[in-house]
A = this chain, B = another copy of it.
Amino acid sequence: MIHARTTAALLLTAAGLLSQTALAADPAVPYPADYRSWSHVKSMVIEEGHPLFASFGGIHHLYANKKAMKGYAAGKFPDGSVIAFDLLEATRADGTVTEGARKVLGVMHKDSKRYAATGGWGFEGFGGGAADKRVVGDNAATACYACHTAQAASDYVFSKTRD
């Protein structure tokens, strides 16, 4: 009887942990650990005076995993597509603009069911590129998707590939 009760209690605890994990992890965008080895799509510098300087000032590079590279070509991104927006400080001096510290790593992760509310894309920002510093969290709809809706025709993606 004691054994049966203990087992039941353990099972309930396990079930509780599982459901908590599911609730907490479900909407979270995975940190893309290997994005620096993905294809480099394009780059751009945003300087002082630009309306997006406060959020995106610096030099940014866009990287895409293999599924996302197919998505750029197709105009529609398959589930599992991930695009990384890697924003670094840009220092202008002596006729050069050089890269500095990472400001934020932005991520778009396609999962048409999981992120149905935001165009099938999960959006996250990792402060300083740190996997545990989520700066978007539950605000993806207003902080990211609101602007990306303008790009509905290209599956909510602003960037285009180039040669």
Is A114 interfacial (CB 8 A cutoff)? Answer: no
Is B42 touching A99 in the complex (CB atoms < 8 A)? yes
Does any Cβ of B come within 8 Å of A142's Cβ? no
Known: A49-B95, A50-B96, A95-B53. A102 touches B163 (CB 8 A): yes
Residues of B within 8 A of A3 (CB): none
Which B residues are in CB contact (< 8 Å) with A61?
A: 40, 43
Q: Which of B36, B48, B162 contacts A40 (CB 8 A)?
A: B36
Contact: B129 with A95, CB < 8 Å?
no
Q: How far is the CB of A6 from chain B (nearest CB, A)?
A: 47
C-alpha spacing A49/B92, complex, angstroms:
13
Interface pair A96/B129, CB less than 8 Å apart: no
Residues of B within 8 A of A77 (CB): none
The chain A residues found within 8 Å of chain B, CB to CB, are 36-37, 39-40, 42-51, 53, 59, 61, 63, 94-99, 102, 129, 162-163
